[in-house]
Amino acid sequence: MTPKTTLFIVFTFMTGWLRAQTVISGTVKDTRGHPVRGASITIKDSYDGATVDSTGAFRFKTTETGPHTLTITNIGYFPVEQPINPSGEAITLHIAMKEQLSELKAVTITAGSFTAGDAKRGAVLSSLDVATTAGSNADITAALKTLPGAQQVGESEGLFVRGGAGYEAKQYIDGTLVNNPYFSSVPDIASRGRFSPFLFKGTVFSTGGYSALYGQALSSVVLLESIDLPEKSEIDASISPIIVGLGTQQLAKNKKSSYGFSYNYVNVGLYFKAVKQVPDYYKMPQFHNGDANFRIRTKNGGMIKYYTTFAYSDLGLRRQDVDTLNAKNAFGITNHNWYNNLSWREYLNNGWKMDLGASFSTNLDNLGQQVQDAHNQLKTFPDSVFWMNFKTFAVDQRQELSQIKAVFDKKLGGISSIRFGGEYWYAYNYQHYRTQQYNIDSTYKFRDHYNAVFAESDIFLTNELAAKLGVRFEHSSVIRRSDLAPRVSLAYRTAPDAQVSLAYGIFYQKPENSQLFYTTNVGFTKATHYIVNYQKMSKDRIFRVEAYYKKYEDLIKTVPVSYNYSIYNNSGSGYAKGVELFWRDKKTIKDFDYWISYSFLDTKRNYLNYTEQLVPNFAAKHTASIVTKKFFTKIKSGFNLTYSYATGRPYYNFRLAGGPKFDLAQQGKTKSYQALNFSAEYVPTIGNPKARTFVVLFASVSNLLGYNAVYGYNFSYSGQYKQPITPPANRFYFIGCFLSWGVDRSQDAINNNL
Amino acid sequence: MRKTLFALTLLASLAVSAQSDKYTQMMQKNISLLDSAKSIDELQSLAGTFDRIGDAEKTKWLPYYYAALAQTWVGWNPATKDKDGNSAKINAYLAKAEAIEKNAELYAVENMSATQQMLVDPQSRWMTYGKTAGEALQKGLQADPNNPRLYYLQGMSLFGTPPQFGGGKDKAKPLFEKSVSLYKSAHPEPLAPTWGQKQAEDMLAQCN
């Protein structure tokens, strides 16, 4: 035998010996016994291993012998290491893998809250949905009214949520409260919100049970999160018979900062000439709005954002007086509003996050009313009908609010986290009231230092079970009161796409400015929420059902002193309970998107001048909306229809009886409310990447069928006449053209990154 | 003594070549299995096998590339419901490969991974995943302007976009033509990716 043949034999023998195979088999399951399909099993530093099949089983052969480490890995699970010692005898293993907690997989608490946003998980509506909901005309509040929980109140702005009055719902931008979120309004005519939906990347509409980070709202908060850096630099223009506007956003070349400003002018003069309004507008409503912003991305991925807006508006109108056919009430209002918001979000070391916010706003209304005769001249009355003379008055009022807020957030192992912080508000409110006839000239003012500290923790026990525990301590200097508000919510996932959430919380709110001018010896009003929610959500469909009970305590009651002077106390109370349904479906009919909301509300309260617990005049028992949207790609156009319905609301005439106290002189119920709204958009440049000019043509008609809405009644002094409260016109038409010229830097960015 | 030494040296060198032969053999065997694999379990298992080869070899990007590719074929299967979860796996394999080498083939897989996530909800995901997919193609073409798979994928993207949005057969056709001609003139190295020629030819036929 040559050495070579010897070697050959040795080598063959060795290989044969190496090939002494061990069969390794078994199962890989998660802690609840479900198979972990696709998990990879490997003998470390060898090619040998297997992948777990759909039943959770695996099986492979190895020629390795001696002590080795078997590793079992799968994305989303903690890796497992298992020592083995293959020696030819079959090895059977049963391995349990523990799922990692992941923000993407973890359940989110949905009780009481609707999330709208583009990148948000669990979003019910996107920002574009807000703009394209027929009847909203890009007003955030109007779009939110198509969701369950909100009332179809047309005579006053604000969100009337679950038996709560409009002032019980508050808006927050980037964490700080907005003092005057709506344009100043005329009695019995609702006004729009000041902020465009396109300023925000995310909107949360909470109808109750919200986080301890927010306070001073008994029934609802709307949390608006402004966009970070814009996608690209652009110039925008809008042209319509009602509004002209021009603005720009400039994104720095390195995409780390941006700035922008815009201006628009609204004048409805031309429109009111073409479309007859019931009131006689002697000063055509006009608005000047300007805004500016800058945004900076910091080194660690944080954001500094500043936004400011200035608005001026002026209008005057005459309406028929309710007491005498020979007189008209001429009401005029001029408003100046300046709003500033500065926020800084920063990611610090060791899982800490910091959110700082500061805001300052000042709002000045100069308003007045005059009773006028047929020639539009001031009309005065004898003292026997003194109440007519009180209808001629002038008021100057100013509200200023400065705020700072800090929230610190710390990630605890995994995805659980704690956050805590505080806020301080300094409010200055001033009112100057005058009536010529009786030489009344009174000035009211107060300052309030409001402090709050809060702490909250998000606890994820598994990906299926989450809890949020929070508490808020508040103190208001003007009423010299403090309170402690606990908040708790839980979510449990019952199926991959279904979950149950519970929420409980106590909410406090200061009395309104108009009450604090007269009485500061009052305490916080209080509401306690109990909410249970079930949600089933897939990519194209959402089904939600929510039931709640809300208890109102310490509501403000009016104690009349004389005809035009009252003081206030906290002796009011009430409740609200109801069930709400929401269904959205983008799947059943191709390219057709619709949602249906239904709210059942049972509520009563004794507050202000109510003589006992009554259904408030803003509450309808049944409210429903159907929102539909269809986009036709072929003609690059979208058509949207919204139908809203609400059963009639009660109305009351509370008269000042001798005493002085209020009597319920008359009550009734309005007819039911309905409206069919339509809007359409035409986007000729959609999908054309070469288009330099992006064009959107938009048209809308609200109340297409011309249904005569009656929101309630105003009563004459005698109580013998009542005047329906109706919108200024049956229908509202809008047509506009929106243009933008974009400078797309995405190509530059790609080239720079290479 | 000399003989023994010689024998030992020979044995050692044989063992080394056996090891690298084992890599080539294993890769060839599994690449051909990948070419014929259909079921999710088969593809999933192959992704795991390639990943193990990559982990054992430590310096080779190709095993991770094939692991990502196998996982991508899992993603194209309509029975795979959790596209985001599947893309997370693809992207994890890609990250391992890219730690060793960045190249056009990896960008091609990145494009498919992002496209699969975009298709979950094109309307709302177009701005995010659609952008990532487009950027991956651009980066790939910068790295290798003659990669036939990138032109095929670019063609697929345009083919699937409605004409109103700047896509359509007419726009896709020249890209498929370019892809097919590049496939015909390509001389891939051993173990290098070769997939896509038949698909590109089929798509070109559909454009006519």
| DSSP state string for B71-131 | HHHHHHSTT---HHHHHHHHHHHHHHHHTT---HHHHHHHHHHHHHHHTTSHHHHIIIIIH
Instruction: Name the residue in chain A with its Cα closest to that of B164.
Output: A687
Q: Give average pLDDT by consecutive 10-residue segment, chain A, 754 residues.
A: 50 49 91 87 89 91 89 88 90 90 70 62 67 87 92 93 96 94 93 89 88 94 89 90 94 92 95 94 96 94 95 96 94 97 93 95 97 95 91 96 96 85 97 91 96 94 88 97 95 88 95 95 96 88 94 96 89 97 88 92 97 96 95 87 97 87 94 96 75 86 94 93 94 92 48 31
Alpha-carbon distance B153 to nearest alpha carbon in chain A (angstroms): 19
CB contact under 8 A, A76 and B124: no
In angstroms, the CA A325 to CA A335 distance is: 30
Coil, strand or helix at A536 = strand
pLDDT the model gives residue A12: 46
pLDDT the model gives residue A752: 33
CB contact under 8 A, B49 and A231: no
Alpha-carbon distance B163 to nearest alpha carbon in chain A (angstroms): 9
Does B16 touch chain A if contact means CB atoms closer than 8 Å?
Answer: no
Does A494 touch chain B if contact means CB atoms closer than 8 Å?
Answer: no
In angstroms, the CA B44 to CA A28 distance is: 15
CB contact under 8 A, A687 and B41: no
Choose among A721, A727, A678, A718: nearest CA to A698: A678
In angstroms, the CA A730 to CA A734 distance is: 14
| Residues A466 and A458 sit within 8 Å (Cβ to Cβ) | yes
Please, which residues have CB within 8 angstroms of residue A708's CB and are 6 or more apart in sequence? A726, A730
CB contact under 8 A, A687 and B162: yes
- The Cα-based distances of A716 to A122, A269, B107 in angstroms read 50, 31, 76
Alpha-carbon distance B208 to nearest alpha carbon in chain A (angstroms): 23
Residues 77-96 of B with CB under 8 A from A: 84-85, 88-89, 92
**Which residues lie across from A737 on neighbouring strands?**
A239, A697
pLDDT the model gives residue A1: 45
Candidate from B6, B47, B164 with C-beta closest to A686: B164
Please, which residues have CB within 8 angstroms of residue A211's CB and are 6 or more apart in sequence? A456, A468, A470, A487
pLDDT the model gives residue B15: 52
pLDDT the model gives residue A671: 96
| Residues A269 and A283 sit within 8 Å (Cβ to Cβ) | no
Does A496 touch chain B if contact means CB atoms closer than 8 Å?
Answer: no
Listing DSSP states for A212-246 in one string gives TT--S-SSEEEEEEE--S-SSEEEEEEE-SSEEEE
CB contact under 8 A, A687 and B124: no
Residues 60-79 of B with CB under 8 A from A: none
CB contact under 8 A, B48 and A40: yes
Q: Position B39: which residue type?
A: S
If you search the block for the tokens 């100046």, which residue do you land on? A336
A40 contact residues in B (CB cutoff 8 A): 48, 51-52
| Residues B51 and B63 sit within 8 Å (Cβ to Cβ) | yes
In angstroms, the CA B157 to CA B140 distance is: 15
| Residues A316 and A332 sit within 8 Å (Cβ to Cβ) | yes
Phi, psi of B92 (to 5 degrees): -65, -40
B3 contact residues in A (CB cutoff 8 A): 3
- The Cα-based distances of A170 to A217, A224, A266, A574 in angstroms read 6, 11, 26, 20
In angstroms, the CA A625 to CA A430 distance is: 40
Angle between helices B83-98 and B104-118 (to 10 degrees): 160
Instruction: Name the residue in chain B with its Cα closest to that of A120.
Output: B124
Alpha-carbon distance B133 to nearest alpha carbon in chain A (angstroms): 12
DSSP B50: H
Alpha-carbon distance A88 to nearest alpha carbon in chain B (angstroms): 22
Instruction: Name the residue in chain A with its Cα closest to that of B8.
Output: A7
| Residues A151 and A169 sit within 8 Å (Cβ to Cβ) | no
CB contact under 8 A, A636 and B164: yes
Candidate from B11, B44, B52 with C-beta closest to A47: B52
In angstroms, the CA A571 to CA A612 distance is: 11
| Residues A42 and B55 sit within 8 Å (Cβ to Cβ) | yes
Alpha-carbon distance B142 to nearest alpha carbon in chain A (angstroms): 8
Candidate from B26, B138, B162 with C-beta closest to A47: B26
pLDDT the model gives residue A635: 87
pLDDT the model gives residue A129: 79
CB contact under 8 A, A40 and B51: yes
- The Cα-based distances of A499 to A111, A463, A544 in angstroms read 10, 12, 10
| Residues A408 and A181 sit within 8 Å (Cβ to Cβ) | no
Coil, strand or helix at A173 = strand
DSSP B163: G
A–B interface: beta-carbon pairs under 8 A: 90
* B6 pLDDT tier (thresholds 50, 70, 90): low
Candidate from B7, B56, B142 with C-beta closest to A3: B7
B119 contact residues in A (CB cutoff 8 A): none
Strands annotated E in A348-439 = 352-372, 393-411, 417-435
| Residues A457 and A211 sit within 8 Å (Cβ to Cβ) | no
B53 contact residues in A (CB cutoff 8 A): 47
If you search the block for the tokens 């996932």, which residue do you land on? A493
> Quick one: which H or E segment has residue B55?
helix B40-57
